[in-house]
Chains A and B, each alone.
Chain A
Amino acid sequence: MNRKHPSVTADDIAPELAQLCRRGFLKRALSLGSLALLTGCDLSTHSGVDAGLWAMLRFNDRVQAALFSPSRLAKTYPASAITRPFRFNAYYPIWEVRPVPENWRLAVTGLVADKTPWTVDRLRGLPQQAQITRHICIEGWSQIGQWSGVPLHLFLRRVGADLRARYVAFTCFDGYSTSIDMASALHPQTILALDFEQQPLTPEWGAPVRLRIPVKLGFKSAKNLESIAVTNTYPGGFWENQGYDWFSGV
């Protein structure tokens, strides 16, 4: 074997190589047609494509967590900017709104020191904070509303939560649930809202207490809370389990 003088050099095959590359592109271009087949991939199948989409959702969650700044505030608006009428939104229509259960208490579970359930009066005894911010729905629409209540970071410190835990999970007595990362839970504008437009919450707006978190998409602001859990186990959520991206920061 004469290694010093190969019979075919890279230069010799360069034109063919270029042509092959172009053919590869042609094949990929034709596979644009196979996009039609991909439209069946909607996060509900067990196909490899859907698995890839789920993996991309997880990747985007990490990117979003990296983009999140605990000190960057959502824009606030004057009272004149409040959207009226305010749009009702839930996973069910407005006539299925549940009344607040008798003897309602807010349960606190997981990695917390004090698990005493909370009444509305006790929550009102904590320092309150008001905000007029934009509620941005994952569907694209948005509206400006006014809420006030207990800053969540203050509440979590009050119950002795492990602030190094990864997740804060919320469950609601209407069957809804969601969860957020600890950094977003401790954001200064994240509140347990008791009032909407300076009036105590009514059931359709999340009575007796709801989460209001302007650094996330609207579906994260869970209404009609019944319990809060601090945990290191990924809790998921009503929409998140169906494919809404979990972090959903704005």
Chain B
Amino acid sequence: MHWIGATAVICMILSGWAIYNASPSLPFSFPPGITLGGWLAAGIAWHLSAMWVLFADGVAYLGYAILSGHFRRDIRPVGPKAVLRDLGGALRLRLGHRLGHYNAVQRLLYTGVIVVICLSIVTGLAIWKPVQLGWLTALFGDYPMARHIHLAMMALIVGFLVIHLVLVALFPRTLISMLVPLQAEPETHDEEGAR
């Protein structure tokens, strides 16, 4: 589910850049070569195709994560104290990682990116159907504001991806663990996760 969702999100971002380039609302454009589609019509075709993959994968993931208790057990953010503690550790590059367990900062980031992706889908619907779903567009303060929020959500997802990929690069065995079955590591006495 992670890989289908990741592919869909990346397709959405890259095709979204092709659409953005048609009428940039900020003083920059994305290089057409790195966009998906390269021009407006193809960007939209990609965007509205990947949309269904993301939607199906998102519904399946949320259903699984809620019903299986994955959210409650692994993702639900813990208190701000724990976040500060783990963030402090992370910033001092004392990154401990136990496979199969998320620390407080991870929980916050994962919850955050799930909320942001949901917001990007909802604002996307608001700017796709501002008449048929006019109530939704009004909720975000009419069409232009919904469009700005949609763009901002994209930026947040890209920001998350950068952090996410850097952390995976620092801890490659987390990637391996997603591809071959490894045992979750038992809890150690090193509670602060620093070593």
Contacts and interface: CB of A to CB of B under 8 A. Distances in A.
Interface string B3-20: 110110011001000011
Contacts of A75: 130-131, 134, 138, 142
Contact of B23 (A15, A40, A68, A141): A141
A38 B46 CA distance: 10
B6 A29 contact: yes
A15 B180 CA distance: 10
A39 to B, nearest CB: 5
B88 to A, nearest CB: 32
Nearest to A23: B179
B144 A244 contact: no
B3 A140 contact: no
B12 to A, nearest CB: 12
Interface in B61-119: none
A12 to B, nearest CB: 16
Contacts of B160: none
A60 B129 CA distance: 12
6 contacts: A22-B181, A25-B178, A75-B142, A136-B130, A137-B23, A138-B40
The 9 closest A-B pairs by CB, nearest first: A243-B41, A139-B23, A139-B22, A42-B42, A56-B49, A53-B45, A140-B23, A25-B3, A43-B42
Interface of A: 15, 18-19, 22-23, 25-26, 28-29, 31-32, 35, 38-44, 52-54, 56-57, 60, 67-69, 72-75, 134, 136-142, 214-215, 239, 242-245, 249-250
